[in-house]
Structure 1
Amino acid sequence: MMVHPSSPPVVTDQPSTARFMVEPKNGTWSSRIFDCWDDKEICCLGFWCLPCLACQVSSMFGECLCLPLLDILSAGPVSSVAIRSSMRAKYHIQGSIAEDWLLAVFCSSCTWCQLAREMKLRQSQPS
């Protein structure tokens, strides 16, 4: 059989479906709130320079880089709660605004670390 030079190449191998990271279950976070040591780089950044991590997560999520700085200027963690609840809505993760608020107030570093791990996992997976 003769193939015309302008015809597209014939695919003989299918793409691999191997995944190196565990895909999160629908409705759950990929890691728990206190699983900070699962990613030591994120954990260290969250501990030593939380504003840097928060701005990085905000930017990765498609929001303004400076949005987390509102937490410093406002009476509460408004940007932390907003990004966490938006991420839950986008990835169909169960939870509530009350839970987001409590975690952002009492475990701010762990909350931002969890958001960073989620973004890192979701962006590394093929769509």
Structure 2
Amino acid sequence: MVENKKKYAYWMYPSMVKEIEKSLDLANATSKSDFVCQAVKFYIRFLHLGKSMNLIAPLLEQTVHNEAESVERNLSEMMFKIAVELGVLSNVICAAHNYSDETVSSLRENVAEEVASTNGVFTFEDAYLWQKD
């Protein structure tokens, strides 16, 4: 349904009228009246959106919270599995070699420094090259 415009008289500050005139092109408005109509529509949508957001925000917050908990749980499970595998690997290596306490302590210190200096990015190839030096 097409609605016809009707003339109304509203009070407005002269400085606002000057701003409207400066902003006609920016708003892609054909006249001051068109500009005001666009602005009023925008503000009405903004007000309705604010009410909608008051209803949607808690639902969105809960959804994000649940998703974050799920990711945290998955990461924790994966880290646990990796820690178990690393423990098995460490025990196999220790059983196969007879390292001294000093060697193990020195290796731990050196590896910690290397991992810190590479920001945690330390590959098998890096270890291979490091052991060859």
TM-score normalised to structure 2 length: 0.25
More helix by share: 2
The structure with the largest alpha-carbon Rg is: 2
TM-score normalised to structure 1 length: 0.26
For CA contacts below 8 A with separation 6 or more, give which structure has more relative contact order.
1
